[in-house]
């Protein structure tokens, strides 16, 4: 139900680059004080993942990821557990601690770029240094891709990247990616 884009595999630049939407993920925003042990504790309880505290990094398990978004803000993405489960699990675990847990599942979608040209296509619209040395495994960054705010994740051991984009920008970004991959170098 969560497909925003035509999620058919898009094959650009002579097959060197594939763009596809990954539907069906669950997204939860978490705000809280990283110094409060309950915050990291809640994430571990619910997702079995250690809360990433280093800026622009993520922590992942087989079924979920936690992205650092800000010093008091994370995005939890899960493949298996529903947002409702995560939200209630976190809230339970956080108890009365001042924090905010918000289901944002319908507001986000993920687009995966596969192939050697992925980063070059992103570099056409993104000012980050995407060289594997500068942006490698375990790293993520919020930035602008063309004129859309995105969260970029470097997928391990490849040139591949994944983008999390806000729903209302997804169509624009999709067009932009098609356009940018027309002549991948």
Partner 1 sequence: MTQPARLRHGGRINRDRPVAFTFNGRQYLGCEGDTLASALLANGVHMVARSWKYHRPRGIVGAGAEEPNAIVQLGEGSRTVPNARATQVEIHEGLIARSVNCWPGLEFDLLSLNGLFSRLLPAGFYYKTFMWPKSFWRHYEHFIRKAAGLGEAPTERDPDYYEKFNAHCDVLVAGAGPAGLTAALAAARSGARVIIADEQSEPGGSLLHARESIDGLPAVSWLRRTLAELAAIPDVRVLARSTVFGYHDHNFLAIAERLTDHLAEDRRRGPRERIWRVRAKQVILATGACERPLVFTNNDRPGVMLASAISIYTRRYAVRTGNNAVIFTNNDSAYATVLDLLDAGVRVAAVVDAREQPRGPHLEAARQRGINLMAGSAIVDVRGRRRVQAAVVASLGADANGLRGNDTTVVDCDLIGVSGGHSPVVHLYAQSGGRPLFDEGLAAFVPGPAVQTQRSVGGCRGSFALADCLREGYEAGTAAARETGHDAAATLPPGPGTLERHDYTLRPLWRVPDPPGHARGARQFLDLQNDVSASDVLLAAREGYHSVEHVKRYTALGFGTDQGKLGNINGLAILAQALGQDIAATGTTTFRPNYTPVTFGAIAGRDLGDLFEPIRLTALHAWHVEHGAEFENVGQWKRPWYYPKPGESMHEAVRRECHAARNAVAMMDASTLGKIDIQGPDAAEFLNRVYTNNWHTLKVGQCRYGLMLREDGMVMDDGVTSRLGENHFYMTTTTGGAARVYAWLERWLQTEWPELKVYLTSVTDHWATIAVVGPRSREVMKGVCGDIDFGAASFPFMSFRDGTVAEVAARVARISFSGELAYEVSVPADYARHVWKALMAAGAPHGITPYGTEAMHVLRAEKGYIIVGQDTDGSLTPQDLGMEWIVSKTKDFIGRRSFARADTARPDRKQLVGLQSADPALVLPEGGQIVDRPQWTAPVQTTGHVTSSYFSDALGRPIALAVLQSGRSRIGQTIYVTLGDGRVAPATITHPVFLDREGKRQHG
Partner 2 sequence: MLLIPCPWCGPRAESEFACGGEAGIVRPGAPDAVSDAEWADYLFMRTNHRGLHREQWWHAHGCRRWFIVRRDTVTCRIDGVEKMGSAGAAP
From partner 2, partner 1, none, which one binds at residue 136 (CB under 5 to 8 Å depending on kind)? none
Binding mask 4-43 for partner 1 (x = CB under 8 A): x------------------------x-xx-----------
CB-CB contact of 28 with 42 (8 Å): no
Sheet with 73-78, edge to edge strand ranges: 58-60, 64-70, 73-78, 26-31, 100-103
Determine how β-strand 17-22 pairs with β-strand 10-12: antiparallel
Q: Which of residues 33-62 bind partner 2 (CB under 8 A)?
A: 55-56
Q: Is 51 in the site for partner 1 (CB under 8 A)?
A: no
Residue 88 main-chain phi, psi, to 5 deg: -70, -35
Span interacting with partner 2, options 93-101, 137-145, 163-171, 172-180, rule CB under 8 A: 137-145
User: Binding partner 2 by CB under 8 A: which of 8, 35, 62, 71?
Assistant: 71
How far does Cα 175 stand from its chain's mean position?
A: 19
Compute the distance between CA of residue 138 and CA of residue 82 in angstroms, rounded to an integer. 24
Task: Give the residues lining the site for partner 1 (CB under 8 A).
Answer: 1-2, 4, 29, 31-32, 72, 98-100, 102-108, 120, 123-129, 131, 134, 146-148, 166-169, 171-173, 175-176, 179-180, 182-183, 185
């Amino acid at each position: 139900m969560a497909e925003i884009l035509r999620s058919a595999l898009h094959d650009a630049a002579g097959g060197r680059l594939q763009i596809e939407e990954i539907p069906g993920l669950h997204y939860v925003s978490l705000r809280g004080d990283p110094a409060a042990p309950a915050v990291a504790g809640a994430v571990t309880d619910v997702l079995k993942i250690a809360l990433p505290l280093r800026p622009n990094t993520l922590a992942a398990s087989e079924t979920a990821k936690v992205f650092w978004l800000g010093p008091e803000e994370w995005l939890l993405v899960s493949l298996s557990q529903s947002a409702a489960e995560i939200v209630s699990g976190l809230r339970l675990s956080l108890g009365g601690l001042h924090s905010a847990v918000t289901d944002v599942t319908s507001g986000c979608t993920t687009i995966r770029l596969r192939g050697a040209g992925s980063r070059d296509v992103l570099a056409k619209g993104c000012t980050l240094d995407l060289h594997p040395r500068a942006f490698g495994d375990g790293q993520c960054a919020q930035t602008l891709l063309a004129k859309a705010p995105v969260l970029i994740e470097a997928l391990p051991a490849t040139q591949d990247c994944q983008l999390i984009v806000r729903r209302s920008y997804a169509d624009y970004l999709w067009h932009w990616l098609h356009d940018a991959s027309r002549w991948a170098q």
